[in-house]
Amino acid sequence: MTLNIATYQLFQSIQNPTLTFLTKTIAILTEPLYLLTLAIIISIYLYFYPCNLQPATCNLARKRSAILLASTSIITALLIKTLKFLIASPRPTTMLIQETGYSFPSGHTTFAIIFFGLITYIFAKPKYKVPAIITSTILITIITLSRLYLQVHWLTDIIGGLAIGSLILLLSIFIHKQIGAN
C-alpha cells in the first residue's frame, strides 16, 4: 500500500458530519482565489495609504511591502496553475466536495503558506514574531489537513504544495531583503 493510499484511508476512517462541515467551511474560506483577492486588497491599501510616522521611510517600506505581497501572490497563483497543467496529476476519485482540475500541487496549501507567511513577515512586530509564526503555522496545518480530510488531494500533492510554497516564500523574502539593503 502506498503512502498516498494509506493517508487517504486514514482520513476516510475519521470522517464525521461535524468535521466534514468544518473542513468544507475551511475550504471555502481559504480558496486560493479569495486569498489572492485579499492579498491584492491589502497590497493596494499598503501602497496608497500614507504612514504618519516618519513619512518618507515608512511610506517607502509600505510600498515595498505592498509590491512584495501583490507580486508574490500573483506569481504564486500563475505558478500553481502552470504546474497543475504541466503535471496533470488526477485528483482522488472519491471526494467530499466537488473539485475540478488537476491535483498537484495543492493550491490551498501553497497559497496558504504564501499568504500567511507574507502577512506575518510584513505585519508582525519583532516582539510578536514568534506568536505570529506559530499562529500562521497552525492555520496552514489546519488548511493542509482539511485538504486531506476532504479527499481532494493526495499526500504527495500536499507535500509538493508545502515545498513549493515554502521555497517561494523564502525566496521572495530573501529578494525583498536584498533589494531593501541597496
pLDDT, tens only, 65-120: 999 999 999 999 999 999 999 998 988 887 677 888 889 999 999 999 999 999 99
Residue 3 lies in a domain: no
Q: Of 73, 135, 131, give the one whose Cα is nearest residue 107.
A: 73
User: What is the model's pLDDT at position 97?
Assistant: 78
| Per-residue pLDDT reduced to its tens digit, 12-27 | 889 999 999 999 999 9
Residue 2 lies in a domain: no
Residue 162 lies in a domain: yes
Domain tally, the chain: 1
Of the chain, the percentage scoring pLDDT greater than 70 comes to 94
| Other beta carbons within 10 Å of 162 | 19
Question: Could you list the residue range(s) of the whole structural domain that residue 141 is in?
Answer: 16-181
Across the range 127-136, mean pLDDT stands at 95
User: What is the model's pLDDT at position 101?
Assistant: 84
Residue 8 lies in a domain: no
At 87, list the grid cell.
503535471
Residue 1 lies in a domain: no
Residue 77 lies in a domain: yes
Q: Of 59, 175, 152, 50, give the one whose Cα is nearest residue 99.
A: 152
User: What is the model's pLDDT at position 114?
Assistant: 98
Pairwise CA distance, residues 139 & 134, whole Å: 9
DSSP for 53-94, written as a single string: SSHHHHHHHHHHHHHHHHHHHHHHHHHHHHHHHHH-PPPPS-
Residue 6 lies in a domain: no
Mean pLDDT of the chain: 91
Residues 6+ apart with CB under 8 A from 96: 15, 20, 23, 24, 149, 150, 151, 152
Residue 5 lies in a domain: no
